[in-house]
Structure 1
Amino acid sequence: MGDGNGRFRSGMARLAYGNPLYALMLGGKAPGALAVVPPDPWPGDTDSGNAILAGRMRFAGQEIAVDPAGAPNWRPQGATSGWLRTAHGFEWLRDLRAVGGDMARRRARVLVWSWLDQNGGWHAQSWAPDVLGVRLASWIGLHDFYCASADDEFRARVFESMARQLRHLLRVAPAKLDGERLIGAVKGLLYGGYCLPDQDKAAREALRLLDRELPRQILPDGGHVERNPSIQMRVLRDLIDMRAVLRVAREEVPESLQHAIDRMTPALRFFRHVDGGLALFNGGQEEDQALIDTVLAQADARGRPLKSAPHTGFERLIAGRTLVLLDTGAPPPAGLDRAAHAGTLSMEVSVNKERLIVNCGSHPSQRGPWRAALAGTSAHSTMVVADTNSSEVLDKGGLGRRPSHVGCERQESDGAVLVVATHNGYSKGFGLLHRRRVYLADNGEDLRGEDTLEPVIGATPQPQPYAIRFHLHPQVEVVPIQGSEQVLLRLPSGNSWRMRVTGAALEVAESVYLGSGDEPRRTRQIMMQGQCGPEGITVKWALRRERKAA
C-alpha cells in the first residue's frame, strides 16, 4: 500500500512540476548579486578534489568516471541514490576549493554550467527539496570560489537558476521530509531567503520551520533524534551555518537556534573517542578530525562532554585512560530511523588514543548488502539471540520490529561507574530480556561486564543459541592463551589487556571494520557463545590491563 501511495505521489509530482507551465511559473526577476555573502569555514578534501579533476566522481561509496575535460552525465547509468544525492548537492565544490588554483575553479564552472544545461527544469531526483536545499546553500556559500570572478553570462545563469530553485523550494517545503534531510531543506530556504535579494517570504518560512523543528529534533540532552553521531555533527554544522547567515544579514538570531547549538555541542563531544573521531552508532562513521575540530570551534559553545545522554539514550563511562560508550536507548522512531542500526546495548571502548572494542561501522551507500550486514546486531559489540536482529533491519533503510522498552540505570561511587541496561527486543519472538551490566573501576584498568538473558514474566522460552561479540579495532592484536577461557589483546602502543570469560565458550573469529571511507578493513572479533535454556543464562566477562609484558 505504501509503495502504491509513493508511486501515486511521484506521478502527481511529475504532472504538477514536470510540465512547461510550471517552469514558466517559476520565472521572475533574477537577482544580479548576493545581498549578503555568508562565510564558509569548512575544510574540503584535497584528495577528493584531485579525483574530481582527474574525472573520478566518487560519492557515497560509488565511483563513476567522467570526461575530466567535458561535461558529465548528471544521471549516469547505474548511479545509486546516494551518488545522485551527493552529486546534485554540490557540497564537493569545497573539495575543489581545497585544491585551489585556476584549474579547480574552471572545473567547478564547467560542472555547474553542465548541471544547468541538464537540470534547468524540475526533476524528481535533482529537485528533491532536501537535495535542492543543500545545493542552494552550497552554491551561495561557495559563491566566492566558483562564481564571483566568472563572466556575466555564467553569473546570470547561476543567479536565475538559484531564484527558480528557491521559488520551488518555498512551494514544496517541508514536503514529507523529517530529521536531517528537513534541516537541509530549511537551510536552503534560509540561505536563499537572506542571501538573495527580495526573498523575505522564504526567509520568514525558514525561521518558522526552524522554530518548529528544533524542539522536535534536538532532545533536551542535546542529542539529535536520529541517534547517529555523524548526523549530530552535520546538523550542528547546518545550524552554525544558519546562525552565520543571520549574523551577516544583521538579523536577530532566534533564541531557539542559539540554545540548540549550545546543547548540541557538548553532545557532539560526548560521542568523540580520545583519538578525536566519533563513535560508530546507527550508521555513523569516525569522520574527519579536522572537520570535527572546526565544527566545535565554530559552535563557540563551552559545555563539557556529558557523562550521560538519557534522552538520546547513551552512556559515557570514563576513568583513568579508559573510555566506554554504551548505546542504552530505544531506536529512533519510524521516519527518523533511515540510517538506524539494530545495535541496542552495544559498546565501544578506547584506551588513550587507541580504539580497542568497536562496532563495525557503516558503508556510505547506506543501502543494499552492506546496509543489511552492518546494521545487523551481529555487527555490533553486543549480544544476539538465535542469529536474529534485536530490531528488524529493512532493505530500503529504517527498522521494522524493534524493542519497545530500553531501560538504563547509572551509579557512580568514588570514581567507579556501573551502568545497568535492559532491552526487550527479544521478548516477542523468544520470551527473553537482555540485561547488560558494565562496571569501570576508578583507575580505568578494570572493566567488567555481565550479559544476562532472563525469561519474560510468564514465558517459558525454548532453548536458543546466543552469541556475545566484541569486535576489535584492526590495530588490535589478539594473542590466544592456551587451555583457558582467556585472550590477550595488544594495542599498538604495547599496552595489553587480558580478557576472561565465564559461562560461555570463547572463540576468536574474522570481522570487518568500516569506520571510515568505503573500503572494509579486515579485523577480528571475540565471540562468547552458548545455549540459553528456559531459565536463562548469565555470561561474565572481564578486561584487565596487564601490568607486565605477557
Structure 2
Amino acid sequence: AAALARDCAAEIDAEGGIQTRNPEELLEVFTLLTWAAQALAEAGPGGTPAHLAAIERIAPALRALRHADGGLARFHGGGRGLAGRLDLALANAGVKALAHPGLTMGFARLSGGRTSVVVDAADPPGGRAGRLAHASTLAFELTSGRRPVVVNCGSGTPFGPAWQRASRATASHSTLAIEGFSSSRFGARSNEALVDSAHVVLVRQAVGEAGHHLVLAQDGWSATHGLTHSR
C-alpha cells in the first residue's frame, strides 16, 4: 500500500493526468486504482490517503475526456475504450466531481447540449512518456449525441509497425497537415519518442453568453516552413 501511494503521488499530477497524455491509459490506471481501493477496503485497512486522492483527481479528468456518446477521445495511442467501461469505472469509484474548467492533461473540452469537442491543446509528451506519442497538436474530435462526427484515426499498433508509425503522423489526425511534414517529427523506429516537437504558443479559452471560445496556435512548422498554425 505504501509503494502504491508513492506511485500515485509521483505519477498522477495535480489535475489527475499522466505523462503519456493517453486517455485510454488513464482509464486503465483509474480502473486498477479503484479495484485496489475496493480490495483494500474489504481486507480492512482501506486505501491510503494518497491512493484515494489519486482516484479523486482522475475522475473529473476522465469526465473532461469523455465524449457525449460515452467513449474517450482518441489521442496519443489511446482508443475509445470498451463500450460502457468508462461510465462503469466512474460509477464504481463513486466520485461525483465534475470536469474542471481549463485544460485537462493538455486537452481542452468544449460542450453544449449533446455535443462535445476535445482538442489536443498542449505539446506532445516527451522522453519515455512520449514513446508512442502522436503528432496531434491542435487536432480535435467532435461527437454529437451517439454519433462521432469528426475523429482521429487512433492507434495503428494492432496492425503492425508500419500502421503504428502512420497513425502517429499529423495526417492521421483531424488537424492541418503539410504533405510530408508532421507538426512533430519522430525517429527511424516507430516506437521512438517524437523529436523536433511542436510547441503550443497560444491558448485562450473562455465561456461567455455566446458560448465556448477557444483559440490555439502551435509552431510545429516554424523552422521548416516559417509557419504558425492557429485555429
Query: When the two structures are superposed, what TM-score results if normalisation uses the length of structure 2?
Result: 0.90
Partner of 2:80: 286
Match in the other structure for 2:225: 430
Aligned to 2:180: 387
CA distance in 2, matches of 1:367, 1:218: 30
The alpha carbon displacement at 1:366 in A equals: 7.7
Match of 1:214, SS state, is: helix
The equivalent position to 1:409 in structure 2, one of 204, 207, 215, is 204
Q: Show the 5 A alignment for 1:47-196.
A: none
Moved more, 226-235 or 425-434: 425-434
Partner of 2:120: 327
Q: CA offset at residue 252 of structure 1?
A: 4.2
Deviations 1:371-400 (A, max 9, x none): 111110001011113430111234241322
Moved over 4 A (4+): none
**In the aligned structure 1, how far is the partner of 2:174 from the partner of 2:228?**
17
Equivalence for 1:539:
none
Q: CA, structure 1 residues 289+308, in 2 after alignment: closer, same or farther (shift >3 Å)?
A: farther
How far, CA to CA, are the matches of 1:207 and 1:242 in structure 2? 13
SS in structure 1 of the partner of residue 230 of structure 2: strand
Q: Distance in 2 between matches of 1:400 and 1:366?
A: 24
Is residue 216 of structure 1 aligned with residue 10 of structure 2? yes
State how 1:506-517 maps to structure 2 within 5 Å.
none
CA contact (8 A) 1:367 1:396 kept: no
Letter in 1 for 2:16: G
> C-alpha distance in 2, partners of 1:214/1:232?
12
Q: Structure 1's 233 and 366: CA in aligned 2 closer, same or farther, altered over 3 A?
A: farther
SS in 1 for 2:109: strand
For 1:230, which of 16, 19, 24 is the aligned residue? 24
Query: Do the aligned residues in 2 keep the contact of 1:266 with 1:306 (CA within 8 Å)?
Result: yes
Asked whether the 8 Å contact 1:410–1:418 carries over to 2, the reply is yes
Aligned counterpart for 2:214 among listed residues 416, 419, 430: 419
Rate the CA distance shift 1:415–1:258 in 2: closer, same or farther, 3 A: farther
Aligned to 1:264: 58
Whether the 8 Å contact between 2:16 and 2:57 is mirrored in structure 1 is: yes
What is the SS of the residue equivalent to 1:308?
coil
Counterpart Cα distance in 2 of 1:333 and 1:231: 16
CA deviations 1:182-234 (Å, max 9, x no partner) are: xxxxxxxxxxxxxxxxxxxxxxxx623x3333233222221222111110100
The CA deviation at 1:333 is 2.3
Residue 307 of structure 1 and its aligned partner are, at CA, apart by 4.1
In 2, are the aligned partners of 1:324 and 1:350 still within 8 Å (CA)?
Answer: yes
CA distance in 2: counterparts of 1:255 and 1:319, whole angstroms: 35
Contact 1:329 1:406 in 2 (8 A): no
TM-score (norm 1): 0.40
CA distance in 1, matches of 2:224, 2:145: 40
Change (3 A) 1:416 1:341: same
Q: Give identity over the alignment, percent.
A: 32
The 3 A distance-change label for structure 1 pair 320 and 247 is: closer
The root-mean-square deviation of aligned C-alpha atoms, in Å, is 1.9
Name the CA shift for 1:227/1:273 in 2 (closer, same or farther; >3 Å). same
Structure number with the bigger relative contact order (C-alpha 8 A, sep ≥ 6) is 2
- The Cα of 1:295 is off from its aligned counterpart by 1.0
Aligned-partner Cα distance in 1 for 2:200–2:81: 30
Aligned match of 2:47: 253
Pick one of 376, 389, 403 that aligns with 2:169: 376
Structure 1 residues 272, 392: CA separation in 2 closer, same or farther (over 3 Å shift)?
A: same
Separation (CA, whole Å) in 1 of partners of 2:114 and 2:72: 17
- Please tell me the residue identity of whatever aligns with 2:41: R
Which of 68, 72, 86 is the matching residue for 1:274?
A: 68
| Alpha-carbon distance between aligned partners in 2 of 1:366 and 1:253, rounded to the nearest angstrom | 39
- What is the CA distance between 1:309 and its match in structure 2? 2.3
Q: Which amino acid letter does the alignment assign opposite residue 334 of structure 1? A: G
Q: Does 1:242 align with 2:36?
A: yes
What is the aligned length? 229
Of residues 352, 355, 358, the one that matches 2:151 is 358
For residue 389 of structure 1, give the secondary structure of its aligned residue in structure 2. coil
Contact 2:68 2:114 in 1 (8 A): no
